Amino acid sequence: MSRQMARPLESRERPPAASGAPRLLVLVVLGTALLVLIRIGLNVGAEHPANPPPVTPSPGYFPLTSTPFPTPSPRPTPLPGTPAVLPIGIVAGHWGNDTGAICDGWLREVDVNLAVAWRVVKGLEAAGYPTDLLEEFDPRLEGYRARALVSIHADACLYPEASGFKVARVEESAIPSVEDRLVACLISRYGARTGLPFHEGSVTPDMTQYHTFYEVDPATPGAIIEIGFLLADRDILLNQQDLIAQGIVDGILCFLRGETP
Ligand SMILES: [Zn+2]
């Protein structure tokens, strides 16, 4: 065979540059791509309907809106004399437990203590301080936390000549300077309001080792006051209980407000 014979054969075997089969292939590919795009478009539309169902808020869910969240106002700094979270505790001596001293067969110390304690609570609440009225062995006293705790008692009528009041804090105080100031405020204000003398000499271990001091939280400033003697001071203790109570309120407010005793 000559080379010239072979050429036409070569040219016949070579496929034409643009035959019908490749054109069909391109059309099939383009058509498939178009279908895929249409499918994708339909799916996207199905997953994002024009009107989505409402979202039910779950706990902790906050919708984003154009309205900004309100900024919490800062907690105001308590001014002297304004109420605080902790209460004041007032113990009505012997209340819920026993009578305390009994004079002349009818006058019970517990009745005087409770009448005065109730008035002290009312006075402190009127001044804006939440206050608890507590029994002698009140279950709340265990670990009790308070801005101040004052237990109110009255002295027996064994000594006709004895007159006046006494105030003491626990012997082994965890906060001696704080409790000394509470005691000083009570002595100063109670004496000024009632005119009764301070009967310092008869402060007894009953007062300085008073059981309540050991029950409350050591950080609770506590004091015990003997408001007067049930014999020599009977008139003021029975007939001027508002004045007696106001003297104790004055002393506690002096302490809470940081006044000089
Ligand atoms: Zn007593």
Question: 202-245, pLDDT tens digit by residue?
Answer: 788 889 999 999 999 999 999 999 999 999 999 999 999 999 99
Query: Is residue 14 situated within a structural domain?
Result: no
Given a cut of 80, whether residue 134 has pLDDT beyond it is: yes
Query: Is residue 42 situated within a structural domain?
Result: no
pTM of the predicted structure, to 2 decimals: 0.68
Query: Is residue 54 situated within a structural domain?
Result: no
Backbone angles phi, psi at 89, to 5 degrees: -110, 130
Query: Is residue 116 situated within a structural domain?
Result: yes
Confidence at 113, pLDDT banded by 50, 70, 90? very high
Strand partners, 131: 88
pLDDT (tens digit, 9 = 90+) per residue, 145-203? 999 999 999 999 998 889 999 999 999 999 999 999 999 999 999 999 999 999 987 78
Kindly provide the residue ranges of all beta strands, DSSP E only, lying in 31-96, ordered along the sequence.
Answer: 88-92
Query: Is residue 57 situated within a structural domain?
Result: no
Distance 128 CA to ligand 1 centre (A): 28
Query: Is residue 76 situated within a structural domain?
Result: no
Amino acid of residue 218: P
Q: How far is CA 105 from CA 14, 63, 73, 169, 259, in A?
A: 139, 74, 60, 31, 42
Q: Which residues contact 249 (CB under 8 A, 6 or more apart)?
A: 120, 123, 124, 127
Rounded-to-integer distance, Cα 171 and Cα 176, Å: 9
pLDDT (tens digit, 9 = 90+) per residue, 57-107? 333 323 333 333 334 334 344 445 444 589 999 999 999 999 999 999 999
Whose structure tokens read 């014979």? 5
Neighbours of ion ligand 1 (CB under 5 A): 93, 100, 153
pLDDT value of position 11: 41
Burial pattern 212-227, b for ≥16 Cβ within 10 A else e, equals: bbebbeeebbbbbbbb
Rounded-to-integer distance, Cα 230 and Cα 48, Å: 87
Distance 45 CA to ligand 1 centre (A): 85
pLDDT value of position 83: 42
Distance 226 CA to ligand 1 centre (A): 8
The crossing angle, in degrees rounded to 10, of helices 241-256 and 109-126 is: 50
Backbone angles phi, psi at 45, to 5 degrees: -65, -40
Q: What is the CATH number of the domain that holds 144?
A: 3.40.630.40
Distance 108 CA to ligand 1 centre (A): 10
**Better-scored residue on pLDDT, 52 or 184:** 184
Number of structural domains the chain divides into: 1
Whose structure tokens read 């700094």? 77
Query: Is residue 162 situated within a structural domain?
Result: yes
Given a cut of 80, whether residue 108 has pLDDT beyond it is: yes
The residue segments making up the domain with residue 227 are 88-256
Distance 93 CA to ligand 1 centre (A): 6
* HSE toward the beta carbon, residue 26, CA cutoff 13 A: 6
Query: Is residue 50 situated within a structural domain?
Result: no
